[in-house]
């Protein structure tokens, strides 16, 4: 039973170190998993082993099974939002037709992809968007009529741009990647995606 006591003590120590962050439900096996992950991967193509290291946000989401305490989530979401770089020219909507192409592509960042940019937005992998595309995923909510339901006021444009740039600004442990934050999508690409979602002429909102 010694093996039971040691991890408990470890978990307690870790909790103290991380101040008020709650201990992981199974700290013993999480520690073991981390050790194994660190040891059992090798770099391939553009995917280096540095990708295995959690950043602060990932640590918090992993440690809390994606349910961080509210005070922490609010603080960290604000921190994430503060990193969103809005376009200098103040224009947030590009060309929805270009946005559709970006939304269709799921390429980029795997060890078989050519390194470098631009990469695809992966949007249809998880979301319904234009009604013309029937091969859409359901990991995320439907975005059909996104602009029709919300309008395209400057506030909505800013929200939409920021959400794509860093989805974690509004929901700390969202399943959605932080496309602008990690440098996957650039300013121009995100503008086109904003137009796909908000332009009244976009098939998302037209019907």
Partner 1 sequence: MRTIIAFGAALMLAVSSPLTFAQAKQGKPAKAQKKAAPAAQVVEETDEATKDFEKFRAQMEDSNPAELFEMKGEELWQQKRGPKNVSLAESCDLGQGVGVVKGAYVAMPRYFADADAVMDAERRIVWCMVEKQGFKFEDIAKKPFQGANDTSAPDITNLVTYVAANSKDMKFAVPLDQPRVRDAWETGKEITMYRAGPYDFSCNTCHGSDGKRIRMQNLPNISTGKGAIKGVQGWPGYRMTGGVMLTHQWRMNDCFRQQRFPEPKYASEVVTDLLTYMIGNANGQVYRGPGIKR
Q: What are the residues binding partner 1 (CB under 8 A)? A: 26, 29-30, 32-34, 36-37, 39-44, 47-49, 51-54, 57-58, 61-62, 65, 109-112, 124-126, 135-139, 168, 175, 177-178, 182, 184
Distance, CA of 121 to CA of 151 (rounded, Å): 23
Query: Considering beta carbons, is residue 34 or 86 the nearer one to partner 1?
Result: 34
Nearer to partner 1, 30 or 206 (CB): 30
Give how far Cα 111 sits from Cα of 16, 34, 46, Å: 38, 21, 5
DSSP conformation letters of 99-110: HHHHHH----SS
8 Å CB contact between 93 and 199: yes
Integer-rounded Cα Rg, in Å, for the chain is 20
Question: What is the closest distance, in whole angstroms, from the C-beta atom of residue 60 to partner 1 in the complex?
Answer: 10
The least distance separating partner 1 from the CB of residue 117, rounded to whole angstroms, comes to: 12
Helical packing angle, 2-17 and 27-39, nearest 10°: 80
Pick the closer one to partner 1 by CB: 172 or 197: 172
Nearer Cβ to partner 1 (45/151): 45
| Nearest distance, CB of residue 51 and partner 1, angstroms | 4
């Amino acid at each position: 039973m010694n093996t039971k006591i040691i991890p408990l003590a470890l978990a307690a120590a870790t909790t103290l170190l991380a101040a008020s962050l709650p201990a992981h439900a199974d700290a013993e096996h999480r520690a073991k998993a981390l050790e194994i992950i660190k040891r059992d991967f090798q770099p391939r193509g553009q995917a280096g082993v540095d990708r295995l290291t959690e950043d602060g946000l990932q640590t918090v989401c992993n440690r809390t099974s994606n349910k961080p305490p509210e005070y922490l989530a609010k603080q960290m979401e604000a921190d994430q939002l503060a990193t969103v770089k809005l376009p200098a020219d103040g224009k947030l909507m590009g060309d929805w037709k270009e946005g559709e192409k970006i939304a269709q592509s799921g390429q980029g960042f795997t060890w078989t992809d050519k390194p470098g940019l631009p990469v695809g937005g992966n949007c249809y992998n998880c979301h319904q968007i234009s009604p013309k595309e029937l091969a859409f995923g359901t990991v995320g909510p439907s975005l059909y009529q996104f602009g029709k339901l919300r309008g395209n006021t400057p506030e909505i444009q800013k929200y939409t741009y920021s959400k794509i740039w860093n989805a974690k600004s509004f929901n700390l442990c969202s399943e959605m990647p932080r496309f602008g934050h990690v440098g996957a999508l650039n300013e121009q690409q995100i503008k086109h995606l904003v137009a796909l979602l908000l332009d009244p002429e976009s098939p998302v909102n037209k019907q």
